[in-house]
Structure 1
């Protein structure tokens, strides 16, 4: 996907008209949260008016020494940034790990999966025995906890067990509710999935 045209300040109005985007209070909103059919699944529309506006997908100014294509996750602010050229980033609202399940560090995206299978880890099954039925994996679908897409985080060649993934629980964005993984609105993880490359650096802080 070629995202460079979005970065040209003089072209924002034209890009907005073409993409059906809007500018509110000086913030450039790029997100469409309408219902979408993907791989035979019909994702419901996100009720944008019920999601705090700061958590909607948008292009923001973001100065960093990290290279474009890097993902930076700010767990305290509940934002994920996909670094773009020229001091900009695509920002997404996220849900993060609840107390005791937080994770931070630097990793790489080793795998990308569309409509992934979810397999609860053994520790989660011990906490919630009712999940034992999914020990062999929960099939993809609208209620799957990984949502429409998943990006798998590895460090030192080993799976960290953590993911950047979608969620059907749009109301959890901006909150600390997960078991450590970083969750995005399904429409947002689909957008990020199309932008980020295998091997991309991910910084979670």
Structure 2
């Protein structure tokens, strides 16, 4: 005789149901999350490609400033300048030439001097690190007209291959960088060891 009150049930669904819930639903959620991630990555990839294309068509404005006292070894400057201007037709360029010593000076390419986006100043002071003698390179180059709203960064090249040492213009350099930083504009340094004051700027400067 079996006591109905103590009979054991053969229905084991209460054992499997919780495990089914625990296993199936997280897996489904993970699959859905995975699909969402794939969609997000695809959208991000499309946006990235469009952004790169936009930058290639409309590169950011990056004014260039070169400081060099002589360039006797730079014999292809006319061709180099033409190549630069073809690659970057809207990029402003400022050339600062510290006062002459016995080593010569800088001869401008003809098309550089005629370019309405170039500025050049000769007889820039060698301040030798004396802040009292620091000159306003930003004003020389017309950079005081820019803000972080229209220019993200300025590229700076200072030749130190021979007759000019960077320490000889360090006070003016520091003033220049500080002035731009106050305006929210970064200064990107570029370098070259062959007195070529054009080639260092032939790059995109995209962050």
- TM-score range normalised by the length of the shorter chain: under 0.3
The structure richer in strand per residue is 1
* TM-score, structure 1 as length reference: 0.25
By percentage of residues, which structure has more helix?
A: 2
Normalising by structure 2, we get a TM-score of: 0.25
Task: Please identify the structure whose Cα radius of gyration is greater.
Answer: 2
